[in-house]
A = this chain, B = another copy of it.
Amino acid sequence: MKRSQLIELIRRKQSFLCVGLDSDINKIPQHLLCEPDPIFSFNKAIIDATLPYTIAYKPNLAFYESNGINGLISLKKTMDYLNGLKNECFTIADAKRGDIGNTSEQYAKAFLDPNGDFNFDSMTIAPYMGEDSVKPFTIYSDKWVILLALTSNKGASDFQFIEDQEGKPLFEKVLTKSQQWGNKDNLMFVCGATQATMFTRIRELAPENFLLVPGVGAQGGSLEEVSKYGMTKDCGIIVNSSRAIIFADQTSAFAQRAEEEAKKVQKEMSKYMQVYM
């Protein structure tokens, strides 16, 4: 998906909500376990219910890989379904890959290649191994790298805030250095919402790149603060919510409750788009 299409999608749906498909087999409603593919049945119901309010879906690969080959089959079915919804959503492989150049090429092929089993629009990448680990993900046209910069977990403080001899924290080095490897049309950054006041600084360093923002909802970030400090004239932010939407309810009403939650978030997002875009 091109940047212009993504922006059009956001404007049309008045939403910048990404629903994280962290579809844990132990947390989906019990009655789905008798379906032939419970995870796919769950995902399809969640997608159908939330699509009017959602501009992106982000399967978290760990929750598929933890079910082995069957989990990957559920993921493929989910992606076939999402890819059938042309221009209705952007897709993110939350994979956090990154390896030496020839290996990153293979990961890019695995998840971004239009002829592969998954054909995502984008994938999350870890920056530790530097340029040759990131660049292979930029070669597919209209596909995106989403590079980890500032994450929303407790362990983020272990390395991401280490300051260099000029006082610059590591995550800022990632934000600036990586802009030599991609541009606003193929490079986004993961920036956690638990640090919303830092978005001012992030926008100085990456004024136009889209930011994928986890940590709103279950992890406690504020949607208004993220919008206030992170939004650009093109919106420029995609805010992820996983558990707060997909596991809002664990009975047979799960999809309806997910819809209500997504609708509520979209309504709030629409308001911030009027104010801050």
Contact = CB atoms under 8 A, between A and B. Distances in A.
Contacts of A160: 128, 130
Nearest to A149: B128
Contacts of A148: 128-129
A170 B171 CA distance: 12
Interface in A43-81: 60, 62-63, 65-69, 71-73, 76
A130 B159 contact: yes
Nearest to A126: B126
Contacts of A162: 162, 164, 170, 173
Contact of A129 (B104, B111, B155): B155
Interface string A12-56: 000000000010100000000000000000000000000000000
Given A103-B22, A154-B132, A66 B159 contact: no
Nearest to A155: B130
A217 interface: no
Interface in A128-172: 128-134, 148, 151-160, 162-165, 167, 170
Interface of A: 22, 24, 60, 62-63, 65-69, 71-73, 76, 94, 96-101, 103-107, 109-111, 116-118, 126-134, 148, 151-160, 162-165, 167, 170, 173-174, 177
Task: List the 4 shortest-distance A-B pairs measured between CB atoms, nearest first.
Answer: A130-B155, A68-B117, A130-B158, A62-B106
